[in-house]
Amino acid sequence: MGAWPEPGQIISMLEGMVMATPAGYLYIRPQDHSGFKPTVVGFSKNVPGYPFPIWDPDRIIVQDVRNVSAPPDWPKPGEGHDDPSATYNWIKTTWPTRSI
């Protein structure tokens, strides 16, 4: 465009964007510019032919991290609570508890 972009122009291009990365798709949340990508959770196993444990494809879950992240308007540490992160406080406060 003949000139370097202003920060606001870059921000408006990134807000809400989903882009392919080597680690999976990355989503930029418009409300607070947080970046989210899928998270893999599961078990590994030893397989002949590999000198190290690998993911067990039958025992992994790919989780959209937005499902386990605090909403953008949730209070941050130091804003009325002593918890280490907004997400920790959000989970502790809003998720149901289960007794075993």
Q: Bigger pLDDT: 98 or 54?
A: 54
Residue with tokens 């809400």: 16
pLDDT higher than threshold 90 for residue 24: no
Task: Please state the pTM of the whole predicted model.
Answer: 0.61
pLDDT of 69 reads 85
Domain boundaries, the chain: 1-36, 38-62, 70-100
Q: What is the mean pLDDT of the chain?
A: 86
Q: Which of 9-13, 34-38, 66-70 has the highest mean pLDDT?
A: 9-13
Quick one: three-class SS letters along the chain? CCCCCCHHHHHHHHCCCEEEECCEEEEECCCCCCEECCEEEEEEECCCCCCCCEEEEEEEEEECHHHHCCCCCCCCCCCCCCCCCHHHHHHHHHCCCCCC
pLDDT of 71 reads 87
Confidence at 59, pLDDT banded by 50, 70, 90: very high
Q: In this structure, which amino acid lies at residue 81?
A: H
Side by side, the strands of the sheet bearing 35-36 are 18-21, 24-28, 35-36
Confidence at 10, pLDDT banded by 50, 70, 90: very high
pLDDT of 82 reads 59
Q: In this structure, which amino acid lies at residue 94?
A: T
Pairing assessment for the beta strands 35-36 and 24-28 based on DSSP bridges? antiparallel
